[in-house]
Amino acid sequence: MGSKNRIFLGIIIAQILHHHRNIFTDDKLVISKKKASKIKIGHPNEAKYIYEHHFQNLLDHTIASCFYKQDGILNFIVQFKGSYLLYGISINNYRNELSTIFKPSVRQLIRCKENMKFFSEDAKRNFEDYLER
């Protein structure tokens, strides 16, 4: 647990820090308890990663980043247990905070694909195969 109503989620992996240099102020990722409770209500399946302290697994399985909708939020795509998840990190604060996590629809993934930055070619091929199905 973090201090000041924040929950510590994990350490941002080196691939993310490498591909997005000078964006993150720290390598620690946190979420406010209020935001975590909102995610628990809206996305209960994804909230288990926050409350059961398994968010580092998602960070380790991050395959790409994309700019989707809002400024100041970097979104990341995770391939984990045969499906894809999208989580966002707010970069406007003094700390790196999780802004959202959800399972996107194929349409949302296609829309995000236009400006995705993949961390490996294998991940890109697997993602394109998934969208073609």
Q: Is residue 119 in some structural domain?
A: yes
Q: Is residue 17 in some structural domain?
A: yes
Q: Is residue 53 in some structural domain?
A: yes
Looking at the 3D structure of the chain, how many domains does it have? 1
Give the range of the structural domain holding residue 79, as residue numbers without chain letter. 6-132
CA 87 to the chain's CA centroid: 3
Whole-prediction pTM:
0.89
pLDDT at 85: 95
pLDDT at 2: 45
pLDDT surpasses 80 at 69: no
Q: Is residue 1 in some structural domain?
A: no
Query: Are the C-beta atoms of residues 112 and 77 closer than 8 Å to each other?
Result: yes
pLDDT at 1: 46
pLDDT tens by residue, 1-55: 445 789 999 999 998 988 888 888 789 999 999 999 999 999 999 999 999 989 9
Q: Is residue 14 in some structural domain?
A: yes
High-pLDDT (> 70) share of the chain, % = 94
pLDDT at 18: 87
Of 115, 26, 6, nearest in space to 65 by CA: 115
